[in-house]
Structure 1
């Protein structure tokens, strides 16, 4: 079991993908967010596709990774558009891509089509850079438990590295129940990312204890500062 007392600073910091994804956030906000990411030495920033080049330049020479989102937040783009967007972000410097599943198609029972679409995006990007990491966003607020399990299995079969709960823009985000279900529905080598409404240290610890290995949050600094205060660092 993970606890606040058992975590090191680095272990906690490297759980975070610092999110800079709100529609109103500006290029200045990207600068502020990347400076925050460097200061706290988090795992990555997750920026809008149009901001990947800027974030890559700002984080050059650091060990903070650049991530982005594809077909965000609804997953409704056709496969060709998802491929084009993903390839452009890789060209601009993204190394982690959070791809939104086609939610409506999954709920229509088009499981094979959803799997093939994700595989097509992954294969196209890996032809350019085999090191790119893929996290598939489900948007669990819209899915049944059976659909979450289906989404886990098709993501693994398509070659994804992570399964992810949500975009943060639906009616609800990460829940402990969903994290536990996703962890139980993928092999050990597949990681689970929690996202949506993550604002406190205790919440992060609970999510980790239910199987999350990464957390997407725009409250990164507040959570890590809370950790430092409670640990007397």
Structure 2
């Protein structure tokens, strides 16, 4: 895999709670310099990032229900709608882990489906926090994501322990098939990590250390 192919697959992220406006500006300038296609920032900064990046045809994505997923469906839907008004063009929502662990699969499916509906056709990914799930739960939630109409299953936020592993990506891809994409996030720190994750079946990568990854260095960030 050459560097440009990898750049095209990476969602560059800045989701730290203490990120300042100046940090976001520098982040956006770096995004333009290195040619990433999509960034993810917290909802508060979507409008600002969009104003800086839209002239360069770079998408701004937003996490919904971040970073625990325990918000009600109504809150997630309204958060999605506001983010889109502010310029968001991709949606990464947190699955309702409590409902999933409780076996309330209809609740999980409805939660996802309502956010997908609110997304108005934009690419929607569902973060499942693989480190907190059994293999059986990973399989079940991926099946639910497909049924609910989302576009991707995503491994993790990187904020709640663990992250993308080759084994998990292979498992998710085995369920997803060619129906939905697999986004690997959390723990992808080097170019080699990224290449191995793609070989395992990921077709998107989320990384805050994207510049270090494509430059052949090592990222200290895990999200």
Common topology (TM > 0.5): yes
Give the match's secondary structure for 2:183.
strand
Which residue of structure 2 lines up, in the alignment, with residue 4 of structure 1? Answer: none
Task: Give the TM-score normalised by structure 1.
Answer: 0.90
Cα RMSD (Å) of the superposition?
A: 1.1
Contact 1:173–1:196 under 8 Å retained in 2: yes
Per the TM alignment, residue 167 of structure 1 is displaced from its structure 2 partner at its CA by 0.4
Aligned position for 1:86:
80
**SS of corresponding position for 2:92:** strand
- Normalised by the size of structure 2, how large is the TM-score? 0.94
Match of 2:127 among 132, 137, 143: 137
What is the correspondence of 1:67-82 to structure 2 with a 5 Å cutoff? 67-82=61-76
Query: Which sits farther off after the overlay, 203-212 or 58-67?
Result: 58-67
CA contact (8 A) 2:146 2:179 kept: no
Any conservation in 1 of the 2:7–2:36 contact (CA below 8 Å)?
yes
Residue equivalent to 2:206: 216
- CA distance in 1 between counterparts of 2:171 and 2:16 reads 28
| SS at structure 2 position matched to 1:174 | coil
Moved over 6 A (4+): none
1:153 is aligned, of 125, 143, 162, to: 143
1:25 aligns with 2:19: yes
- Structure 2 Cα separation of the partners of residues 78 and 189 of structure 1: 27
1:18/1:33 contact within 8 Å kept: no
Equivalences, count: 217
Task: Tell me how far 1:72 sits from its aligned partner.
Answer: 0.4
Alignment of 1:194-233 (within 5 A): 194-226=184-216
Q: Which residue of 1 aligns with 2:170?
A: 180
